[in-house]
Amino acid sequence: MTNTPNPTETQEIYARRLEKDGEREYAIRKALKEHYDLPIMEIIAICAELPAAREREITELRKRFPDLNENRFAWKISKTLTITKENALKWSQIILAVEGQA
């Protein structure tokens, strides 16, 4: 995988390609900033449309912080991804529900 955008790629297409290549949201954010020098709010908006990358990022967070309860994990997600606490809580609940089934 190459992290360099093709000359014809828009920021959105580049981000989707990185997502398809298996990158987590954090890596995609860094790549967008490095190659396009976008404002953070624009990067956040682009990444909000990349559910697989976001899920990989949240799964990695859970591996790093396996003992956090639902609210603490939601707070960690919210701060890491700059998303609302409400959206982070939904992700936290989904991840913890899956863990409960394991």
Has residue 6 been placed in a domain?
Answer: no
pLDDT score for 13: 97
- Work out how many domains the chain is built from and give that number: 2
Residues in contact with 53: Cβ distance below 8 Å, sequence separation at least 6, in sequence order? 15, 18, 19, 23, 24, 25, 28, 47
Rounded Cα distance between 72 and 51, Å, is 22
Has residue 4 been placed in a domain?
Answer: no
Handedness of CA 79, 85, 90, 93 (dihedral sign): positive
Q: Using a cut of 0.85, tell me whether the model's pTM lies above it.
A: yes
The torsion region of residue 82 among left (phi > 0), alpha (psi -120 to 50) and beta comes to left
Find the domain containing 35 and state its range: 11-47
Q: What is the pLDDT of residues 31-81, one digit of tens each?
A: 999 999 999 999 999 999 999 999 999 999 999 999 999 999 999 999 999
Do 94 and 61 lie in one domain? The reply is: yes
pLDDT score for 102: 46
Q: What is the pLDDT of residues 13-25, one digit of tens each?
A: 999 999 999 999 9
